[in-house]
Amino acid sequence: MDPAGPAAGAINTIWWVMLAGATAIFLFVTALLLLAFRPRASHDASVRRWIVGGGLIFPGVVLTALLTFALVVGERLLPRGDVPAVQVAAESSQYQWSFTQPAAGAGSIRTKGVLHIPAGRPVDVTLTSRDVIHAFWVPRLAGKLDAIPGHRNVLRIEADAPGVYQGVCAEYCGVGHAGHVFRVVAHDPAGWARFQREGGA
């Protein structure tokens, strides 16, 4: 409910639209329920009209509109090759996240429990796991995606502004699951250049 990136903003919009659609259906069904308690003599519509119009057409139209909207917006959340993105490899284990990304010169930078990204630029996080299924989730930046042993999933995240964002494992992964957390540090251009030169912790 407090998005700090385009993906989280899109998910927030989907949530509000779904709530509006669910509210419309709920109010309509409630109205039909109240109408059912009226005396039979005052009914002026046929049973067929109520069943077809109220039971099929109205919810069908609303649910189709919601599905179409969610698919269109959800399609925009997928990583695409047309926009250059910072590439990060994220490997999860019980109960820690390790992140690897290219350094400014040769080599790479590896951090544990802290993911460094540039603010205002898309970042593609390639997820994998060393043991069981985990889930990478930074609620203010994007939706969640599973890290699966032997498989690679890619999640695009982006922070609108520099700051520190909390991330969690959103898939129960064992007794240490509650402490399986990490931080995302989004840097301004100067801070990002410094991180790439000096590495991180």
pLDDT of residue 22: 87
pLDDT of residue 112: 94
pLDDT of residue 136: 96
163: phi > 0 → left, psi -120 to 50 → alpha, else beta; which? left
Instruction: Taking the CA atoms of 41, 45, 49 and 53 in sequence, report the sign of the dihedral they define.
Output: negative
d(CA 122, CA 159): 8
Over the stretch 45-104, which tens digit does the pLDDT of each residue have?
Answer: 566 677 677 777 888 888 898 889 888 887 777 777 677 889 999 999 999 999 999 887
Whole-prediction pTM value? 0.79
d(CA 157, CA 137): 10
DSSP letter string, the chain: ----SHHHHHHHHHHHHHHHHHHHHHHHHHHHHHHHTS-GGG--S-HHHIIIIIIIIHHHHHHHHHHHHHHHHHHTTS--TTS--EEEEEEEETTEEEEEEE-SSSSEEEEESEEEEETTS-EEEEEEESSS-EEEE-TTT---EEE-BT--EEEEE--SSSEEEEEEE-S--STTGGG-EEEEEEEPHHHHHHHHHH---
Under a CB-based contact definition with an 8 Å cutoff, are residues 183 and 166 in contact?
yes
Q: Where are the domains of the chain?
A: 6-75, 86-198
Assign domain 86-198 to its CATH superfamily: Cupredoxins -  blue copper proteins (2.60.40.420)
For the chain, residues with pLDDT lower than 70 are 40-48, 51, 81, 200-201
